[in-house]
Amino acid sequence: MIGKKVPHVTFRTRIRDEAVGGPNPFRWEDKTSDDYFKGKRVVLFSLPGAFTPTCSTYQLPDFEKLYPEFQAEGVDEIYCISVNDAFVMNAWGKSQGVANIKLIPDGSGEFTRKMGMLVAKDNLGFGMRSWRYGAIINDGVVEAWFEEEGFSDNCDTDPYGVSAPQNILENLRGLKKAA
C-alpha cells in the first residue's frame, strides 16, 4: 500500500450556510480527494461506522485529544472517513463535540472500494463498509499504512489496535528519528 496514490473521488458533504435560511441551513458542497489531500501531510483513519462503540468511545475521541501531538510531528490534518452519508457523519461529529478532526462522508463507498478496503458487514445488517485502517498520506501518496489484522467479509470480531492513534503517533515519532 505504501506509495499508492489515493483514488480521485468526489465526496458529497453538507455544510452550514446561514444564507440558506430556515430551520436547517445546510447545503451540499462537493469536495474532491485533491481538496483533502493535495499539498498536505495528513492522517486518515477509516472505520466501520459512525456511532459504533469502539469508534465513538476510543478511536475518534482519542484522535481528537492527541491532535496537537500529531501536529507536532508534522501532520497538517486528521481525517476520519466512513461509509456513511454526510447527514450521519455531521450528526456523529456534533454528538462527539469534534473540533480538530475532519469527518469525510464516503456514503457510496467509492473511495473505500478504490482503496481496496470495502468489506461486507451483512452479518451486522450494515451492508458494505470499510475495514478498519489508518494511513499517513503525504500529498496524496500513502507514506505509512496501519491496517487491522484479518481483513475479511462478515468478520465476527472488530480488531482494533494497529489503527489506534497511540500506535500511529508512536510510528510517526519513529519515522522522524529514522529520517
Which active-site residues does the annotation give? 55
Contact 133, 146 (CB under 8 A): yes
Residues in contact with 80: Cβ distance below 8 Å, sequence separation at least 6, in sequence order: 44, 45, 46, 47, 59, 60, 63, 101, 102, 103, 104
- Within 10 A of 113 (CB to CB), how many other CB atoms are there? 16
Give φ, ψ of 58 to 5 degrees: -120, -60
80 belongs to the binding site for ligand BEZ (CB under 6 A): no
158 belongs to the binding site for ligand BEZ (CB under 6 A): yes
159 belongs to the binding site for ligand BEZ (CB under 6 A): no
140 belongs to the binding site for ligand BEZ (CB under 6 A): no
Stretches 21-29, 32-40, 50-58, 91-99: which one binds ligand BEZ (CB under 6 A)?
A: 50-58
Q: Which triple of cell numbers denotes residue 43?
A: 492522517
143 belongs to the binding site for ligand BEZ (CB under 6 A): no
Which position among 52, 100, 138, 171 is part of the footprint of ligand BEZ (CB under 6 A)?
52
By rule CB under 6 A, what count of residues binds ligand BEZ? 8
Query: Smaller CB distance to ligand BEZ: residue 75 or 121?
Result: 121
Query: Smaller CB distance to ligand BEZ: residue 7 or 159?
Result: 159
62 belongs to the binding site for ligand BEZ (CB under 6 A): no
Q: Is 40 helix (H, G, I), strand (E, B) or coil?
A: coil
Contact 160, 132 (CB under 8 A): yes
Please report, as ranges, the residues that interact with ligand BEZ according to CB under 6 A: 48-49, 52-55, 124, 158
